[in-house]
Every structure is written in structure tokens, then in C-alpha cells.
């Protein structure tokens, strides 16, 4: 782990695209500003952990659960996907 000391209005660069700037230090809290491209996900740690857990649970979905969902969402309950003919 790299440990750096920064003062308010000083920044750290991560690669060419990400900047983390110290905006304010007050009463034991640090406010950070992050500038990153839209394609770089930026989350608080607790949100990131929740996303990871949701992904783990979704990955554990059984084929039977998926089949049941398809049946429930199909118009006639048959589980067959009905596609409209684009030619009309």
C-alpha cells in the first residue's frame, strides 16, 4: 500500500485519467473530490461491497430459477419468447 500525505487542495494522480483531490479536512473527516472518466467506476467502499455481494448472489442463480423467470415473463406463460417479425 502506498501511503501519501496531502493537504487541502492538493491532489494525487492515478494514471493519466484519475485525479483524487483533498477538498477539506474537518473534525476527523476528509472530503475528497474525484475526477475520472465515466467508464471508470467510482464507489464508496461499503457500496462497492454491496455491489459485489449482489453480483455473487446473481451468479449463483440456478437454471431452474431462470426458467421460472422466463415463464413468468412470457405473455402466455409457456416460457417461449415470442418475437415480432420485423418485416411486419
Q: What is the pLDDT of residues 26-83, one digit of tens each?
A: 999 999 999 999 999 999 999 999 999 898 888 887 778 777 877 788 776 665 655 6
Per-residue b or e along 32-62, where b marks 16 or more CB atoms closer than 10 Å to that residue's CB:
eeeeeeeeeeeeeeeeeeeeeeeeeeeeeee
Question: What global pTM score does this model have?
Answer: 0.61
Amino acid at each position: 500500500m502506498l501511503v501519501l500525505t496531502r493537504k487541502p487542495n492538493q491532489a494525487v494522480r492515478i494514471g493519466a485519467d484519475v485525479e483524487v483531490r483533498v477538498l477539506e479536512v474537518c473534525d476527523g473527516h476528509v472530503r475528497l473530490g474525484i475526477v475520472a472518466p465515466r467508464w471508470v467506476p467510482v464507489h464508496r467502499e461499503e457500496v462497492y461491497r454491496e455491489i459485489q455481494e449482489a453480483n455473487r448472489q446473481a451468479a449463483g442463480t440456478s437454471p431452474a430459477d431462470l426458467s421460472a423467470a422466463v415463464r413468468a415473463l412470457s405473455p402466455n406463460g409457456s416460457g417461449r419468447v415470442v418475437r415480432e417479425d420485423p418485416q411486419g
